[in-house]
Amino acid sequence: MRAERPPAFYALGAGGWRDYVTLLHPPYTAWHLSYVAIGAALAPALDTGRLLASLAAFGLAVGVAAHCLDELHGRPLRTRIPRGTLIALSAIGLGGAVAIGLAGLDQLGPRFAAFIAVGALAVPAYNLELFGGRIHGDHAFAVLWGAFPVLTGYFAQAETLNATALLAAGAAYALSLAQRWLSNEARGIRRRAVSVDGRIVWKDGREEPLDAARLLAPHEAALQAMAAGHVLFALALLLTH
């Protein structure tokens, strides 16, 4: 009998503290936090306090709240974390993120309230597939978890947006779309495929079995490389300051 595939390449063994590490989606959370740092680093001047606050807010909203709500909606990671704990953590995460944003209004002005509102609404709407799931598609993912963090990171530093911020947001949108397309395929094979059977016949006569591992390898290797590359690129940009 075939052993059940882990729900994600970064998933640890089920149970205990390992469930909480898996729940954070470490490579993807780091990837999306890198967009916040990239947006901040592209601003003319960098305020370390504002950067840390921005990273903390997105870490709580995306890394904690969004992923807890996602796990509540169908248990895609198959964790054993109690439902009540997931609800509490999601409330703490989103509440903490909103509190950090509200605390920054004195410095950033009333226009920053729009960023707080978008983030507070996006997390439950996307992860609980509200409004008939219309905000849960590939393009919504790219806007909310790619472009939006860049714009927020930049605005938190410069208190305005310009062509630089918009172009960087466009790049983050495109890269997040690529992430989504790769991960959709990998998740489908890991979580929904019952069997994969076939072969590849090469021009030189070689034959290679086509199984789940063969299909997953290039998708997940690309995702891991892209996640690491984004974090390193963000760090490089921050060091220019």
Please, which pLDDT band fits residue 36 given cuts at 50, 70 and 90?
very high
Distance (Å, whole) CA 7 – CA 62: 19
* In-domain check, residue 8: no
Terminal-to-terminal C-alpha distance of the chain: 56
Answer yes or no: are the C-beta atoms of 109 and 159 closer than 8 Å: yes
pLDDT tens digits, 151-171:
999 999 999 999 999 999 999
Answer yes or no: are the C-beta atoms of 39 and 153 closer than 8 Å: yes
- For 133: left if phi > 0, alpha if psi spans -120 to 50, otherwise beta; the answer is left
* In-domain check, residue 223: yes
* In-domain check, residue 1: no
* Averaged confidence pLDDT in the chain: 94
pLDDT tens digits, 86-144:
999 999 999 999 999 999 999 999 999 999 999 999 999 999 988 887 888 999 999 99
* In-domain check, residue 169: yes
What integer pLDDT is reported at residue 120 of this predicted model?
A: 96
* In-domain check, residue 180: yes
Q: How many domains does the chain have?
A: 1
Q: Which domain holds residue 104?
A: 17-239
* In-domain check, residue 197: yes
* In-domain check, residue 116: yes
Whole-model pTM?
Answer: 0.94
